[in-house]
Amino acid sequence: MTMSLRQMTPSLGAEITGVDVANLDNQDFDAIYESFNRHSVVVIRDQNITPEQHADFSRRFGKLMVHVLKDDLLEGQPEIYRLSNKVENGVPQGRPNAGQYWHSDLTYEKVPSKGSVMYAMEVPDAGGDTLFAHTAASYEALSEPMKAFLSDKTAIHDFRHAYDTFSKRIPGTMPISEEVFAARPPVEHPVIRTHPETGRQCLFVNPGFTVRIKELSYDESDAILAYLYGHMIKPQFFYRHNWRANDLVLWDNRSLMHCAVGDYGPDQTRHMHRTTIMDGDAA
């Protein structure tokens, strides 16, 4: 097979065809990695991989993280987090309604994530898309005074925030125990981070996990974050991925936030596996 690449939008996104990630030579992997850094979202079509192959491919990008929601991990393959509304013999096959709010994966960790790799096994007939917003392009479009204002600011990120603010309001969302929340106390990260491989500066706040900007009053923080969140999802910074079965999608959590669209009914199955890569270059 010969690998080909098609850019999806001017800001972000590339589609790659003609590769088998389970049997990938170093040259083709290097091209995928370069596209990952350049385009932030990489869609690799028509993959037929096992969970082991999924994890092995993901490890080529770096060390894998284990999600704090242990009940939703794949048995025997704990690096794989199951996002699914599928039920077999009365047993949920993953976490339903996951990520239906703007967020960047695992920013509530002390060492945040480099990227995520999600594999679609079953998708709705229509709907269930994932939206991506480019936080480097949106930073670059800010005025110079706003960039200067944000340059020394710190944000507090909290795993509980997404559940309390978004998830528990969605019917069918499974509860999360206090023990899980206690295992992930709030952390602090700079509001502006420099991407360690591209050198681009990126907004590093998101509605899901960012509680507030530490140096500001609560009212000031709410106002600034509301402005930034609206700015970050302008159409020119945006890509909407319509999933097909056997899509493997990589995205860069250092330069993106994303949102799953919950517009499909309970009669439609959305069954995905995701790995998350640790950012070894994080401070």
Q: Which residues are tagged catalytic?
A: 103, 105, 258, 274
d(CA 164, CA 60): 35
| Beta strands in the chain, from DSSP E residues, in sequence order | 4-7, 14-17, 41-44, 73-74, 77-84, 87-88, 91-92, 113-122, 130-134, 154-157, 187-190, 192-194, 201-203, 210-213, 238-241, 248-252, 256-260, 271-278
Collapsing DSSP to helix, strand or coil, 80 comes out as strand
277 closest CA partner among 128, 160, 31, 104: 104
What is the dihedral angle through the alpha carbons of 71, 72, 77, 79, rounded to the nearest 10 degrees? -110
Name residues whose C-beta falls within 8 Å of residue 62's C-beta, 6 or more positions apart in sequence. 114, 277, 278, 279, 280
